[in-house]
Amino acid sequence: MTSIVALEKISNLNEMVQVPANALYNVDGYTEAGFKVGDAVTYQDLLYGTLLPSGADAAQSLALLTYGDFDSFVNAMNEKAHTLDMANTHYSNPVGRDSEENYSTLQDLLKLLLYALDNEDFYKAYTTRTYTTINNLELTSTLVVPSQMYHLNIEEIKGSKSGFTSKAGLCLSSIAENDGVKYLLLTAGSKYQNGFPNHIVDTLTLYHYFFENFTNTPILEENQVLKTIPIKDATQSMYEIKSPINVSMYLNKNEVENLVYEYQGIQELNSKIKQNTKLGTIKVKYKEEELYAIDVYMDSKIQYKYTKEILLVSIILLLLILMFFLIKKIRKRKN
């Protein structure tokens, strides 16, 4: 929240600023990026210092430089939370200190992260692993060092932001990609055990479960036969209703056989039903849950058995009627 509120106030990330005097206020015990009071840096440096190493010095610098004081900045944070309908969230400081007035839920944080990731500058910083500031500070994502120390493969995690307080435990928000599918995950409450990265292990465990068991599954394929219905008095006995489009959805790839196609509509075709007539609706269901619905139409002409015979009889009747009137007219003239 500190990053996105500051970002939306900053007009030029490359603008040079000085780390303000109160930037190091009450940061003892909190992670720092390494900025010193008076350092000449850019807003971008402070943004990356906030997101990569979780620097309290960088976060408080952003707050002071964009809104002038902590109270005004915290008010802006709470206003943004209200705008995003984060009903169970309230902020009391810009660095995440445990406080009765500083709380949130994973559901609210999901709303916030989805919103923030739409900001191009936030997304770029969030998905960066290492960054060098203009004053040569080497900033590294909090994901990197513990993963290297414990030989955890984090290649599929494309972006992240970790956190820790005694009440919240080890927390991690992240985005990942596997087999063309993008994932977003938030975990919290992992135990702190002598530096072991339980939050990263939790995250990898959940990701790998979905990587192995779920994928984008075709639920409709173009020209797939979805239903057959009988045709009355036609040269063909059945009409095949086919899918006109391709549709895929994210499902358990081991349970594709649970897809069910329910048809509601015309149950028998006859010569009165013309091409392009809506026949009905196909509903695709998975474990009794409706996933997709599509209207289907008669997309081809049907040859009926008696078409030629009916036409011939109609012509003969028409000729007989014409002859009748013609004979009647001739008789009137004779009279």
Token representation of residue 47: 């943004």
Rounded CA-CA distance 77/1 in Å is 7
- Nearest C-alpha neighbor of 123 from the set 65, 173, 66: 173
Rounded CA-CA distance 320/325 in Å is 9
Token representation of residue 80: 């943004």
Rounded CA-CA distance 296/223 in Å is 12
Which residue is it, tokens 């590294």?
A: 140
- 132: pLDDT strictly greater than 70: yes
CB 56 within 8 A of CB 3: no
Task: Give the torsion through C-alpha atoms of 56, 61, 63, 69, to 10 deg.
Answer: 110
Between the CA of residue 9 and those of 66, 97, 261, what are the distances in Å?
6, 23, 51
Identify each DSSP E strand in the chain by its residue range. Answer: 16-18, 40-42, 130-132, 138-140, 157-165, 169-178, 181-190, 214-220, 225-230, 238-242, 247-252, 259-265, 278-286, 289-297
**Per-residue model confidence (pLDDT) at position 309:** 60
**Per-residue model confidence (pLDDT) at position 334:** 67
**Per-residue model confidence (pLDDT) at position 173:** 97
CB 51 within 8 A of CB 13: no
Binned at pLDDT 50, 70 and 90, residue 308 comes out as low
Question: Count of residues for the chain?
Answer: 335
- Nearest C-alpha neighbor of 48 from the set 145, 133, 117, 118: 133
**Per-residue model confidence (pLDDT) at position 237:** 86
Mean pLDDT, rounded, of the chain: 92
Which residue type is seen at 244? Answer: P
SS3 235: coil
**Per-residue model confidence (pLDDT) at position 323:** 82
Question: For 136, left (φ over 0), alpha (ψ -120 to 50), or beta?
Answer: left
For the segment 120-131, what is each residue's pLDDT rounded down to a tens digit? Answer: 999 999 999 999
**Per-residue model confidence (pLDDT) at position 333:** 72
pTM of the model: 0.78
Rounded CA-CA distance 299/242 in Å is 9
- 166: pLDDT strictly greater than 90: no
Cα radius of gyration (the chain): 34
